Amino acid sequence: MRIATFKLNGQRHVGQVSADGHHVTAFALTEDQAHLGAQPIIDALVAGHALPALVGTPHDITHVHLEAPLPVPRRNVWCVGRNYHAHAKELQASVFKDSNTDTKAWPIVFTKVPECVVGPTDDVHLPGAAISDQIDYEAELAVVIGKGGKNISQADAMSHVFGYTVVNDVTARDVQMRHQQWDMGKSFDTFCPMGPWIVTADEVDGRNTRVRCWVNGELRQDGPTENMIFDIPTLIETISRGITLYPGDVIATGTPAGVGMGLTPPRYIAKGDVIRVEIDGVGSIENRFV
């Protein structure tokens, strides 16, 4: 099942996307419930309740404005750095200069504030050169947690996955390095495009898919999720150690090689650039930087 959050005639709805991806039909939710996007659907299914009824006629997906499936995340988005072997290698001379590249080391975990989440086709706003002139893209598969828990084992981790979505972990590289801890350089307004919907875990296995990114039509990133240093069960186990994960929590799982900072010379995002991120079995997002 694909669950989308969308606006129609200025009103937010949550709906089920047709199998061919061409139509979306709204669930019967109150305005307050729909404000939270897919969160009430996740909560209902985790609690063992029936899905809300579908109401009205299906809408052509091109006639609605798709929003982030979780436009108001319940808390910060969990993110993982240096999680593909080739990406870790390409940044060893920069933010990863002093990092341990031993695959037995712990994952690098940081967060992005909820307010930086925008939709799959929304504009991303460059902050201006006085704040940062090294804005970079990071195509990522994101895990959406279903059943919550603490101290989740790797063996049980996949049973806690509700589904998957696509994110672009937009990053101000100079700010990221300046502050050492990464949250500020990752959390500028609009720096987390997300979407186009959530695909439930019964339809796709995030451990066996492919992440791609194009900048102005040029393929820059292309990597299978099997190349993660720390796989999805390991990430869930690590992040839940002593910390309770809740339904609707989002974990961005890291980016493949090919980011702008890793190129020679580096190629950062410029005004007018259009960046498309696509994940097999999940969908794609495409955002213009303004």
In this predicted model, what pLDDT tens digit does every residue of 134-188 receive, in sequence order?
A: 999 999 999 999 999 999 999 999 999 999 999 999 999 999 988 878 899 999 9
Low-confidence ranges of the chain (pLDDT < 70): 86-88, 91-104
Other beta carbons within 10 Å of 7: 15
C-alpha span between 241 and 237 (Å, rounded):
6
Report whether 41 contacts 2 (CB < 8 A): no
* Two tokens, residue 238: 């690590």
- What's the mean per-residue pLDDT of the chain? 94
Residue 99: per-residue pLDDT? 53
pLDDT of residue 105: 83
In degrees, rounded to 5, the angle at the alpha carbon of residue 59 between the alpha carbons of residues 70 and 124 is 40
Predicted pLDDT of residue 88: 66
Rounded Cα distance, 184 and 172, in Å = 8
> How confident is the model at residue 4, as a pLDDT?
98
Contacts 24+ apart (CB under 8 A), 242-245: 242/150, 242/151, 243/150, 244/148, 244/149, 244/150, 245/145, 245/148, 245/149, 245/150, 245/152, 245/160
Strand partners, 270: none
Nearest to 187 by CA among 173, 170, 174, 167: 170
CB atoms closer than 10 angstroms to residue 102: 8
